[in-house]
Structure 1
């Protein structure tokens, strides 16, 4: 079995609030937050692209943590 190499997002700040991404040998994307490394989201590249497009287009309402 191949080892999965995690990469920290270039948009993540220093500390424990980082998003990490890895690609499995079959092309599945895995995402996790550095403060919860045992919780992993598995997705396809196409679904992840659709999510990023939606976020950039403002399709998702997001409340700030202070709200």
Structure 2
């Protein structure tokens, strides 16, 4: 059983259209639901770069 603590995105829509994250000091686990059906694990640096792209107005 996973002991990860999942946090729901603040931009979550109703229903299942949500992203959940479970950060650790070195990696961030990203899932499509809580409990997760599929989990993508990325470095903290890669997650930061993803957030930078998502937040930029032109996606670059």
> Do they superpose with TM above 0.5?
yes
> For the residues of structure 2 that align with 1:15 and 1:7, how far apart are their CA atoms?
16
**What is the CA–CA distance in structure 1 between the aligned matches of 2:37 and 2:17, rounded to whole Å?**
14
Structure 1 position 15, deviation (Å):
1.1
Cα distance in 1 for residues equivalent to 2:54 and 2:16: 22
Structure 1 gaps, min length 5 = 60-67
- Where structure 2 has 5 or more consecutive residues not aligned to the other structure, the ranges are none
Q: Which residue of 2 aligns with 1:42?
A: 41
RMSD: 2.1
Question: Runs ≥4 in structure 1, deviation > 4 angstroms?
Answer: none
The TM-score normalised by the length of structure 2 is 0.74
- TM-score with structure 1 length normalisation? 0.68
Which entry has the higher C-alpha Rg, 1 or 2?
Answer: 1
Query: Residues of 2 paired with 1:34 and 1:3: CA distance?
Result: 15
SS of residue paired to 1:10: coil
